[in-house]
């Protein structure tokens, strides 16, 4: 059985290339402090990079499914990295971006339709579900690399803060998406190993899993406990709460440019 996409089905979409171009220009603007509004440049960088990571997340699901046996993936356009090809662009792109703007939460989207009946083997089904959050984990490792490698000498402060905030989003997306909640990839990983009876009972709740997670995160006690855990993970990577706080403050450019104390006056430990 063929498990390769045709050249046209696997060609990278101009939409994705445009997103990468926006990300590159915004990186330059943040790095050089060229923009009249540093916060707007950070906003463009974080949002474009976040959408790029979401596209890669969905691509990982699709590519793994293709190799797992779903040969319809290519014809659906999922291998082009075009977010407009997703089954629910609202869930995959718009809602995650809105969540970032509203609360700085990297909630995952997810809307590539995989024909699971074409795939044989529970391990293949689990790997398809795991591929997305693993992509976010790799993205988080790359974004945070200057911190855990100690390679921040000469890096402009605003770029440092933007990277830190983006790393926070990627880490939250990874952890949230691995929760065993119906509708999220964490549940998709364990679902093949559940009995048919349990799967039938859980299935009606799948469309509401993401919204339920978002609702729980609005509970102050849950929110504080969750972000304490995220901060602990980021500290292991060398990213402090100072870094993520000012990254988010810059990101909210509509509130005005914040007055950030110089880094050389602080001991970030």
Instruction: Find where tokens 């499914």 sit.
Output: 65
The CA-atom distances, in angstroms, between 43 and each of 93, 101, 218, 252, 256 are: 16, 9, 23, 7, 12
Q: Are 47 and 97 within 8 A, CB to CB?
A: yes
Q: Are 51 and 97 within 8 A, CB to CB?
A: yes
58 is catalytic: yes
Closest by CA position to 140, among listed 229, 49, 249: 49
Closest by CA position to 211, among listed 181, 175, 173: 181
Q: Are 246 and 260 within 8 A, CB to CB?
A: yes
CA dihedral angle for residue 45, residue 50, residue 56, residue 60, rounded to 10 degrees: 160
Cα–Cα distance measured from residue 255 to residue 250, given in angstroms and rounded to the nearest whole number: 9
Tokens of 206: 């799948």
Query: Catalytic: which of 9, 58, 115, 259?
Result: 58
Closest by CA position to 257, among listed 35, 32, 27, 23: 35
Residues with catalytic roles: 58
């Amino acid at each position: 059985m063929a498990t390769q996409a045709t050249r046209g089905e696997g060609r990278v979409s101009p939409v994705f290339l445009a997103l990468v171009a926006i990300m590159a220009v915004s990186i330059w603007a943040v790095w050089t402090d060229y923009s009249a509004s540093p916060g707007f440049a950070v906003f463009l960088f974080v949002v474009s990079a976040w959408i790029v990571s979401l596209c890669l997340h969905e691509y990982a699901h699709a590519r793994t499914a293709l190799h797992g046996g779903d040969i319809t993936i290519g014809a659906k356009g999922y291998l082009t990295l075009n977010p407009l090809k997703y089954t629910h662009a609202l869930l995959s792109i718009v809602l995650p971006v809105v969540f970032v703007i509203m609360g700085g939460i990297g909630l995952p989207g997810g809307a590539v339709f995989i024909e699971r009946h074409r795939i044989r083997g529970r391990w293949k089904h689990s790997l398809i579900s795991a591929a997305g959050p693993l992509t976010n984990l790799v993205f988080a490792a790359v974004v945070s690399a200057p911190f855990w490698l100690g390679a921040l000498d000469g890096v402009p402060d605003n770029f440092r803060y933007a990277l830190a905030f983006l790393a926070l989003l990627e880490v939250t997306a990874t952890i949230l998406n691995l929760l065993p909640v119906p509708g999220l990839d964490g549940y998709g990983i364990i679902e093949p190993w559940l009995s048919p009876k349990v799967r039938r009972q859980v299935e009606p709740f799948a469309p509401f899993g993401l919204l339920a997670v978002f609702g729980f995160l609005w509970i102050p006690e849950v929110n504080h406990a969750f972000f304490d855990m995220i901060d602990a993970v980021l500290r292991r990577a060398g990213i402090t709460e100072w870094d993520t706080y000012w990254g988010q403050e810059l990101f909210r450019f509509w509130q005005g440019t914040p007055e950030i104390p110089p880094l050389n006056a602080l001991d970030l430990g």
